[in-house]
Structures are given as structure tokens and as C-alpha cells.
Amino acid sequence: MSRSGWMWTVIELHLPRLGTDPAAPFPPTSAALQRPNGLLAWGGDLKPERLLSAYRLGIFPWYTQGEPILWWSPAPRCVIFPHAVHLSRRTRRRYRAGGYSLTADTAFAEVVNACAAPRKDGSGTWITAAMQQAFNSLHRLGYAHAIEVWRNGTLVGGVYGLALGKVFFGESMFSRETDGSKIALVALCRQLQAWRFTLLDCQVPNPHLQSLGAVQISRQAFESHLKGAVGDGGAPGPWTERFSIDMRW
């Protein structure tokens, strides 16, 4: 069953419902369903306090327009260790051909909007208007960030997510030209490595991420990593002035 079907079955599955208090605790992630993988709870809201609490525990919202908010903690977990990111020779050649520039946090809302746009295959998006508003709020608070890829002054790719301590929780990426999202993700990993971030959370695997070096680890390993890293330094604030990576790929 697709996620859209869960709007009418969350009660039948006896999933915990989150209330109106954003400080209320989440259910233990060990209670997440195996089918669909990681579905943990429903309801609540997307206030910054609740989102920050969720991500620190490895929980994230994932739903489509018209559904209640669904909260997930899948296992195994798809991650990229920043030092292990991979960029193909073809993409390296494309980047070296010139015309590209990289920035951070100069066009956050535009990156989110681009990620939320319908795909070329006609499929919809899980990045609802409420999710866009929530991450724009987290960006203003200094927690959410974007890497932007420009070619000849036009935004052609990007990636955005949430930074907590030394972990970056990736949300989505987009391309308007071939390899735009790959360049953005590799640039992000290079910067994370320079800042001694230890993990990029990718949530769930797909061939695109795996081609860039994503691997899967157990829930126990993932959550153990979070406990030691989400509170490790990394004061919130814009990345615009701090962003500086070696462009020689």
C-alpha cells in the first residue's frame, strides 16, 4: 500500500497519536512498524520544537497533502559518511568544464520550492506547503541549510536539510540540469567533512544515493551515533559566510 492509503488506516493500525503539546515525548522507535517500514506515529504538528526533538531521535515527518502528519523511523537507515562520498568521473568532467559556482544559504526557499515541484515523470511531492513553511522557519532559526549549485548565474541544483550537532539530516535535492543534485550533495559532504560532521542521514535508500556512496546501517547503530553527535557543538546560524570548499574536483 502506498503512503497515501495510510490516511484512513492509521487508527486501524493502533498507531500512537501525537497531541498538541510539541514538547510531549515520541513513542520509542523500537515500536515502529516493519510494514510499512518505520511508521511510528501520526498527528501532532510541525512546530520547530517538535521537529528538532524528532530529528534528534532519528524520527522525521513524511506524508502527502491530505494525509495526517505521519512520523517515521525506518530500519535499516540509509546514510552517507561524508568522507566516503563518491563522484563519478563523468560528473567530475562535467563540473570541470566550467560555469559552475557553489553557495550556501543564499537561496534556501528557492531550493525548497524546487525540491517540492512536480517531477519530470509527473509524480507528486511529499514536500507539502506546511513542510515548506516549517523548514523555512527552521532556516530562519539557523538550523536548516541549503547548498546551491549555479551555472552561469542560474540555479541548476541544490540540496537542503537540517544540521544538529555534527549530523546533517538530508531532506531533498533537485536538478534542473544533468548532475546538478550530485554536485550539490558532494559539495555538502565535502563541507561537512571539513567541519568534522560525522554523518549525513539520507533516511531511505534509492539507486541515486547509493551511486554516491550511501550505505545502510542498523537502527541501533544509527541511534547510537546520534546520541554522541547531535549535541556535539555546531551552533545554529547561517552557513553563507562559513561555506568554503576545495573546488578542485
Measured between alpha carbons, how far is 84 from 214 in angstroms, rounded to an integer? 8
- Number of Cβ atoms within 10 Å of the Cβ of 83: 11
The 10 Å CB-count burial string (b at 16+, else e) for 112-129 is bebbbeeeeeeeeebbbe
pLDDT(9) > 70:
no
Which one, of 189, 205, 195, 184, lies nearest residue 229 by Cα? 195
pLDDT(179) > 80:
yes
The SS3 assignment for 38 reads: coil
Q: pLDDT-based confidence at 99, cuts 50/70/90? A: confident
Measured between alpha carbons, how far is 177 from 151 in angstroms, rounded to an integer? 9
- The DSSP secondary structure of 196-237, one letter per residue, reads T--EEEEES--HHHHHTT-EEE-HHHHHHHHHHHTTSS----
Mean pLDDT, residues 174-199: 94
Whether 145 contacts 105, CB under 8 Å: yes
Measured between alpha carbons, how far is 228 from 231 in angstroms, rounded to an integer? 7
Phi (first) and psi of residue 136, to 5 degrees? -65, -35
Mean pLDDT, residues 195-200: 96
The SS3 assignment for 118 reads: coil
Q: pLDDT-based confidence at 245, cuts 50/70/90? A: confident
Query: 119-129 pLDDT, tens per residue?
Result: 765 555 789 99
**More confident site: 94 or 56:** 56
Measured between alpha carbons, how far is 127 from 13 in angstroms, rounded to an integer? 24
Measured between alpha carbons, how far is 8 from 93 in angstroms, rounded to an integer? 49
Sign of CA dihedral 143, 146, 147, 148: negative
pLDDT(7) > 80:
no
pLDDT(6) > 60:
no
What was the pLDDT predicted at 12? 54
Domains of the chain plus CATH, in order, are 3-74 (3.30.70.3550), 78-229 (3.40.630.70)
pLDDT over 90 for what percent of the chain? 76
Phi (first) and psi of residue 173, to 5 degrees? -145, 165
What was the pLDDT predicted at 4? 45
Q: Output DSSP code: residue 122.
A: S
- The DSSP secondary structure of 163-184, one letter per residue, reads EETTEEEEEEEEESSTTHHHHH
Q: Which residues pair with 36 in a beta bridge?
A: none
Which one, of 200, 196, 198, lies nearest residue 186 by Cα? 200
- pTM over 0.75? The answer is yes
Mean pLDDT, residues 2-31: 77
Measured between alpha carbons, how far is 235 from 206 in angstroms, rounded to an integer? 31
Measured between alpha carbons, how far is 116 from 236 in angstroms, rounded to an integer? 24
Query: 133-147 pLDDT, tens per residue?
Result: 999 999 999 999 999
Measured between alpha carbons, how far is 56 from 164 in angstroms, rounded to an integer? 7
